[in-house]
């Protein structure tokens, strides 16, 4: 082996050592870079966690401050959202444990937020504008299955499109869906069905629905509602027929007598209405006589002859002079009668209020308890402030002072 070959081998060895050293330097620099990157990633993760905690706190404070300011739709999974928020805050507190756990939790949170967006109920549009399509009403009845208002609106939607059969199907669905304890809601649906058959059906379909409703609901209420339907359609004979059936079946109910009398008065059958009161007093229990008489007297003021109404009240008060409720109703009906007829506007001198003032004078001159007298004086004072003058107001105050002084004496 020559000296030249040995020198060549030494040169190659030197080059390999230099390459190895350079590789070691590059490896060391890469490791330091990785460490720097990991530390920067940790710092970024911590800062992002702190920012997310701060934003969550601010969001919670805003929700607490604006808990009642609901301007749009709502979420069905509100309880799940609160639980998810508490879980997210707990996971943020332990986010420094490891990078792998942080990334997995972040993925879960992203997935949860996506699911929340998907499950969010889109009812904001329905709150801002009326529902137009059948799908809109389907969402409404699914959200409020026991609401008769929603079901009736759904029926009206189909009736507006002349789809009567579809409206019937919605009514049947409503009766099956509404819970049995919601009797008034079911009654509203039955009344809607009666109106539907009366307007769009035949006599046979109307009789069939009426027969079914009598089996499931209070018959007295059904007959009275059917009478109102006929009355609104100016079918007075049929309305009277329904009232007569109700009276024959529920003769001890004051309501059926009063509503029948009101129908007669509205249609100028005054004599028949007065005869009906006599029949009612013969059929009703004695404890209901005062109630029936006073209600017939109020109807005379509104739809008949006010003087006849005064006669009725005077007769009742002659028998029960200490009844504060009767005096209060008598005074109220006198005031409303004069206001309704426009007597207060046509008489600037206030002479139309003289009968009412005489009633107040009568009632405060009677011997009643101090509690009852206070009630009448307050009522009289309010009346004079609304319809009287400063002189009449001062007169009431003077009367009250005299009464108080009489108690001290």
CA distances to 80, 127, 170 from 123, in Å: 19, 6, 21
Residue pLDDT, tens place only, 79-137: 445 444 445 444 444 545 455 555 666 666 665 665 554 444 444 444 456 677 888 87
Residue of higher predicted confidence among 341 and 121: 341
DSSP 28-91: HHHHHHHHHHHHHHHHHHHHHHHHHHHHHHHHHHHHHHTTT---S---TTHHHHHHHHHHHHHH
**C-alpha of 387 from chain center:** 36
pLDDT of residue 242: 96
Distance, in Å, from the CA atom of 306 to the CA atom of 392, rounded to the nearest integer, reads 25
Query: pTM of this prediction?
Result: 0.64
Q: Could you give the count of Cα atoms lying within 13 Å of 41 in the half-sphere of its Cβ?
A: 11
pLDDT digits (tens, 9 = 90+) for 343-397: 555 555 567 788 889 999 999 998 888 999 999 999 999 999 988 889 999 999 9
Length of the chain: 409
The rounded mean pLDDT for the chain is 77
Q: How many angstroms separate the CA atoms of 408 and 404, rounded?
A: 7
* Span 182-196, average pLDDT: 94
Q: Residue 189 pLDDT more than 90?
A: yes
pLDDT tier, 184 (very low <50, low <70, confident <90, very high otherwise): very high
Q: What pLDDT is attached to residue 133?
A: 82
Q: Which residues contact 156 (CB under 8 A, 6 or more apart)?
A: 167
Quick one: CA torsion of 287, 290, 293, 294, rounded to 10 degrees?
-140
Q: Is the distance from CB of 399 to CB of 364 less than 8 angstroms?
A: yes
Residue 330 has pLDDT above 80, yes or no: yes
* pLDDT for position 127: 47
Express as a percent the part of the chain with pLDDT over 90: 48
User: Mean pLDDT, to the nearest integer, of 316-329?
Assistant: 91
**Residue 146, helix vs strand vs coil:** coil
Decide which of 58 and 164 is more confident. 164
SS3 category, 180: coil
> CB count, 10 Å around CB of 123?
18
Scanning the structure block, which residue is given the tokens 């069939």?
Answer: 208
Q: What is the pLDDT of residue 409?
A: 61
Give percent of the chain with pLDDT exceeding 70: 66
| C-alpha–C-alpha distance, residues 132 and 135, integer Å | 8
* Residue that is written with structure tokens 């939607």 in the block: 157
pLDDT band at 341 (very low <50, low <70, confident <90, very high): low
| pLDDT interval class at 61 (50, 70, 90) | very low
- pLDDT, residue 6, reads 40
- Average pLDDT of the segment spanning 179-202: 94
Q: Which of 144, 155, 212 is nearest to 178 (CA)?
A: 144
Residue found under tokens 């509104």: 302
Q: Which of 64-73, 143-152, 284-293, 389-398 has the lowest mean pLDDT?
A: 64-73
- Report the alpha-carbon distance of residue 336 to residue 375 in Å, rounded: 19
Specify the residue for token string 């404890």.
287
pLDDT tens digits for 250-280?
999 999 999 999 999 999 898 999 899 999 9
Q: Which helix (H) or strand (E) holds 249?
A: helix 236-249
> Over the stretch 6-45, which tens digit does the pLDDT of each residue have?
444 445 444 444 444 444 444 444 444 444 444 444 444 4
Q: What is the dihedral of CA 173, 179, 184, 189, to 10 degrees?
A: 0
- List of residues 6+ apart from 288 with CB closer than 8 A: 252, 254
The conformation of residue 288, written as its DSSP 8-state character, comes to G
Tokens, residue 194:
């009666």
Residue 292 has a CB neighbour count (10 Å cut-off) of 19
The C-alpha atoms of residue 296 and residue 258 are separated, in whole angstroms, by 7
């Amino acid at each position: 082996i020559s000296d030249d070959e040995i020198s060549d081998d030494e040169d190659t060895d030197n080059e390999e050592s230099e390459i190895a050293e350079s590789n070691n330097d590059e490896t060391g620099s890469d490791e330091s870079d990785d460490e720097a990157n990991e530390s920067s990633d940790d710092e970024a993760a911590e800062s992002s966690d702190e920012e997310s905690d701060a934003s969550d706190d601010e969001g919670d404070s805003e929700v607490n401050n604006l808990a009642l300011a609901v301007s749009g739709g709502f979420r069905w999974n509100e309880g799940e959202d609160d639980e998810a928020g508490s879980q997210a805050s707990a996971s943020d507190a332990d986010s420094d444990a490891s990078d792998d756990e942080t990334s997995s939790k972040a993925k879960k949170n992203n997935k949860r937020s996506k699911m929340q967006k998907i499950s969010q109920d889109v009812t904001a549009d329905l709150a801002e504008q009326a529902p137009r399509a059948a799908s809109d009403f389907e969402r409404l009845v699914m959200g409020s299955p026991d609401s008769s208002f929603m079901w009736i609106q759904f029926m009206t939607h189909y009736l507006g499109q002349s789809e009567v059969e579809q409206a019937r199907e919605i009514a049947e669905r409503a009766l099956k869906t509404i819970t049995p304890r919601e009797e008034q809601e079911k009654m509203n649906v039955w009344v809607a069905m009666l109106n539907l058959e009366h307007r769009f059906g035949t006599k046979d379909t109307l009789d069939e629905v009426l027969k079914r409703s009598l089996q499931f609901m209070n018959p007295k209420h059904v007959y009275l509602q059917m009478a109102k339907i006929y009355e609104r359609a100016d079918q007075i004979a049929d309305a009277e027929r329904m009232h007569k059936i109700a009276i024959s079946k529920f003769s001890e109910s004051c309501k059926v007598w009063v509503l029948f009398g009101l129908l007669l008065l509205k249609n100028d059958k005054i004599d028949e209405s007065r005869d009906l009161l006599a029949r009612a007093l013969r059929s009703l229990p004695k404890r209901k006589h005062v109630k029936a008489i006073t209600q017939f007297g109020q109807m005379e003021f509104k739809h008949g002859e006010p003087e006849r109404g005064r006669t009725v009240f005077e007769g009742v008060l002659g028998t029960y002079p200490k009844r504060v409720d009767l005096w209060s109703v008598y005074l109220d009906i006198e005031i409303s009668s004069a206001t309704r007829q426009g007597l207060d506007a046509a008489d600037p001198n206030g002479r139309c209020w003289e009968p009412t003032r005489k009633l107040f004078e009568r009632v405060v001159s009677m011997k009643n308890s101090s509690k009852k007298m206070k009630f009448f004086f307050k009522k009289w004072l309010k009346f004079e402030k609304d319809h009287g003058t400063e002189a009449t107001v001062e007169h009431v105050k003077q009367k009250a002072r005299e009464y108080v002084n009489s108690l001290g004496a």
